[in-house]
């Protein structure tokens, strides 16, 4: 079996075209497309997306973004943390470890991670050692965030 | 046809039991249940939920929460606004105007509203005069927020 390679995705028309195969295509992708078309961003600029190619096909992706410590409402001690979203593996490529490879890549920064899971994905996140954050209405509203704690990091207590 | 009546829902075991019929049952509801069981909140305390009963059945609900002006990153001038989430009508009761009744109730406060729609609900929100917010990655991350602007309110420009 080939080693799975996670790559940072660059903003260009080819990548944006491949994004259309993913269910969670939304404002974020449309906004990148507009920025590219109007030369607001240069071709091959950094995107917040990481992905896995199988041959020429982008078969899995996630978005990863660093939240600064001063905005940290989840972790103790408060610190920079990663927010992970739009983790998705195309249907034909599921069950092959691509999702895990992306999550492992995120964990390799050794920062706490927060994600807001899709309905029915809790089994996956549990296997990835994510746990439910204590629910705080004013912070979480309709979200059911899951968090991953690297060694030495705890969850913030509810206010 | 009976007039549709929107009611503020109170936290008690009966209501929490009825919440289980809704797909978007999550941490928020579990946390209310725990608070009630451990006497952290009193029976019949206010909840952020509003709903519509048909006979004894809760057939539609939404959550509504006021965000303070100092946290407003969406509207111009910055002001208190409502965030609406978990709008849901039980399958057997859809297409009867219950969803619209809840949204109209939210609009009656005459504050701007932000919501983060479920996939495939855009047709509904368009009919409700909601529009896409300009996407701002650091603010919206994986969300595709929709907003409703009362008279005299505009969207904040992207930074």
Integer Cα distance of B59 and A4 in angstroms: 47
Q: What are the boundaries of each domain within chain A? A: 7-155
Of A24-28, B9-13, B85-89, B146-150, minimum mean pLDDT range:
A24-28
Put simply, the chain B residues between 71 and 100 with a CB less than 8 A from any chain A CB are 83, 85-86
pLDDT digits (tens, 9 = 90+) for A105-127: 999 999 999 998 877 788 999 99
Helices (H), chain A: 13-19, 27-37, 98-107, 122-127, 137-140
Q: Label the pairing between strands A81-89 and A113-115.
A: parallel
State whether residue B113 is helix, strand or coil: strand
Alpha carbon distances (Å) from B84 to A51, A114, B154: 33, 22, 18
Put the strands of the sheet holding A6-11 in their side by side order: A6-11, A45-54, A57-67, A81-89, A113-115, A146-148, A131-132
B65 in reach of chain A (CB within 8 A): yes
Chain A residue with the nearest C-alpha to that of B145: A27
Percentage of chain B exceeding pLDDT 90: 75
pLDDT digits (tens, 9 = 90+) for A50-75: 999 999 999 999 999 999 999 999 99
Higher pLDDT, B26 or B54: B54
ipTM: 0.74
pLDDT on residue A1: 52
| Residues of chain A positioned with their CB less than 8 A from the CB of B135 | 27-28, 30-31
CATH of domain A7-155: 3.40.630.30
Higher pLDDT, A120 or A76: A76
CB A31 within 8 A of CB B135: yes
The mean pLDDT of B22-43, rounded to a whole number, is 90
């Amino acid at each position: 079996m080939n080693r799975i390679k996670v790559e940072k995705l660059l903003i260009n028309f080819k990548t944006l075209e491949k994004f259309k195969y993913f269910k969670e295509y939304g404002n974020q992708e449309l906004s990148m497309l507009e920025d590219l078309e109007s030369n607001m961003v240069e071709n091959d600029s950094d995107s917040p997306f990481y992905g896995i190619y199988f041959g020429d096909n982008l078969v899995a992706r996630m978005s990863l973004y660093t939240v600064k410590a001063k905005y940290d409402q989840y972790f103790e001690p408060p610190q920079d943390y990663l927010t992970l979203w739009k983790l998705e593996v195309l249907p034909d490529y599921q069950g092959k470890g691509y999702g895990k490879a992306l999550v492992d890549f995120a964990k390799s920064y050794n920062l706490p991670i927060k994600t807001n899971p899709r309905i029915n994905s809790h089994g996956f996140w549990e296997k990835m050692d994510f746990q439910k954050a204590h629910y705080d209405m004013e912070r979480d509203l309709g979200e059911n965030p899951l968090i991953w704690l690297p060694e030495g990091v705890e969850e913030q207590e509810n206010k």
